[in-house]
Amino acid sequence: MSRTYDILGKVGDEQAFRQEIRDWLAEHMPRNWRTEWQQVRGSALKTEIVKWLEARRTVGLGTPHWPKEWGGPGLPFSYQIMVYEELSRADAPEVEMFIISLFHTPATLFEHGTPEQKDKYLSGIIHGTDIWCQGFSEPGAGSDLASLRTSARLEGDHYVVNGQKIWSSGAAHADYCLLLARTDPNGKRKHDGISYFILDMKSPGVEVRPINQITGEAHFAEIFMDDVKIPVANLIGAEGNGWNIAQSTLSTERGLLIFGEVERLARSFELDGQAARDTWMRDVQFRREYAALYGELQTVRLMIRKLLIELEANPDKASPTLPTYIKLTWGPFLQRYTEFLLRAEGLETQKWQPAIPGTGHSSRLRFNDFLNSYGWTIAGGSNEIMRNIISERILGMPKG
C-alpha cells in the first residue's frame, strides 16, 4: 500500500525535504521507463510524459519553479534546485517534449502576459494538454537573432504574418508557438521593431516540416507562415518590445535547465567509471583521460552553482557573462567526453540504436550521445559568436 507523501510540508527542513522526494521517487518513478520510452514516439510518447507529469503534480513537483498564484508550489529558489537535483540523481525521465511549455512560456507570460493570456494558456500547460514550441531562429538569423525577417503587418483586429522559422524544437507536435516577428522594418536598430506573439499552430497558413537529424530522429522542425492571421489579443507586451521580452524567455536556459542537464550527466559520468573498472579503466591512458574530463565536468558544475547562487541572491544582478562561459565550456566538454567513451568502449558501441526520449545527453547509447553533443556547437548561439561576444563585450578587444 502506497504511503502518503507531504513533500511541500517539509519545506524548512532541507534534509527531510530531500528524503521525502527520494522516497517518493523510489516508489513512483516509472519502472523500466528507458526501455519503454525507447519504443514510443508522437502521441504515445506524449501520453507517457503526461502520466509522469501528473504523478509529479499530485505531490507538488509538476511545476516546482512556478509561483502559487499560477498553480505552482511557490518554492524558494534553493528548494527548486533541490527538486531538480534529486530528479537528476534518481535518473527520473526528463520532459523534453514539454520543456518550452514548462519553462520558456511561463517565464514569458508571468512577467509580460496579460491576465487573459495567463488564464487562457497556463492551465493547459499544467495539465499537459498543450505543447509549446519556440519560433525565434531563422535561416538567416540564428546567433544574430535580431536580424530576423519574419514580418507581422497589423490589419484591423489581427496581424498578418509571413516568414520562416527553423530549428524549432518539438514544433511537429506543438499546439502553440512563442513567435518573434518584425512589425516595424524601419527601426533605428535591428533590435527595434520586433514584436512577440502567441501563434496557434493550427492556424491556416502554418506549415511544419520536420528536420531529419543524423541520429534518425526529427526533434527539430521548420515553420513556414503564409499570410497567417494572429489576433491582436495574442500580442505579448507592447508592439516593438519583443526583443526585450525575449530576454525573459531565454533567461530560463541560464538556470535550472542547464543545471538539471549537467547534474544528470554527472550521475552518468560516475556510473560510466564504475562500469568500466574491469575494462577500459584498467588502461593507464584511459584513466588519465577520464580523470582530466572529471576535472572539466566539475568546472562546469561549479560555474553553474555560482550562477545559481547569484540568481537566488538577485536575478536582476546575476552575471551577464557567466552563462556565455558556461555554454562555451559545457558544449566542447560534452563532445570530448562522448567521443572518449566511443574510443574507450570500442566498436561494439559504435552502432545505431533508437534514441531514448527523456534522457537528454545521458542516454548511455554512446553513438547517439556523441552525435547529439554537436548540437551544442550552435545551441544558444554558435561558439564562434560566443567567442566574439567575450572578446568584444567582456575583454574590450576591437572588432575584427
Q: Within 13 Å of residue 396, how many CA atoms lie on the same side as its CB?
A: 0
Please name which of 340, 306, 312, 311 lies closest in space to residue 325, comparing C-alpha atoms: 306
DSSP 243-312: HHHHHHHHHGGGTHHHHHHHHHHHHHHHHHHHHTTTTGGGSHHHHHHHHHHHHHHHHHHHHHHHHHHHHH
253 is a catalytic site residue: yes
Residue type, 326: I
Q: What is the phi/psi pair of residue 46, to 5°?
A: -60, -40
Q: Pick the catalytic residue: 94, 253, 261, 263?
A: 253
C-alpha cell at 99: 520543456
Distance CA 107, CA 1 (A): 38
Measured CA to CA in angstroms, residue 81 lies from 68, 197, 260, 308, 344 at distances of 17, 30, 9, 8, 33
DSSP H/E element including 136: none
What is the rounded (10 degree) CA torsion for 335, 336, 339, 341?
Answer: -120
C-alpha cell at 138: 531563422
Cα angle value 64/70/74 (rounded, 5°):
40
Distance CA 228, CA 184 (A): 17
Pairing of strands 151-155, 132-135: unpaired
Q: What is the phi/psi pair of residue 19, to 5°?
A: -65, -35
Q: Name the residues annotated as catalytic.
A: 253
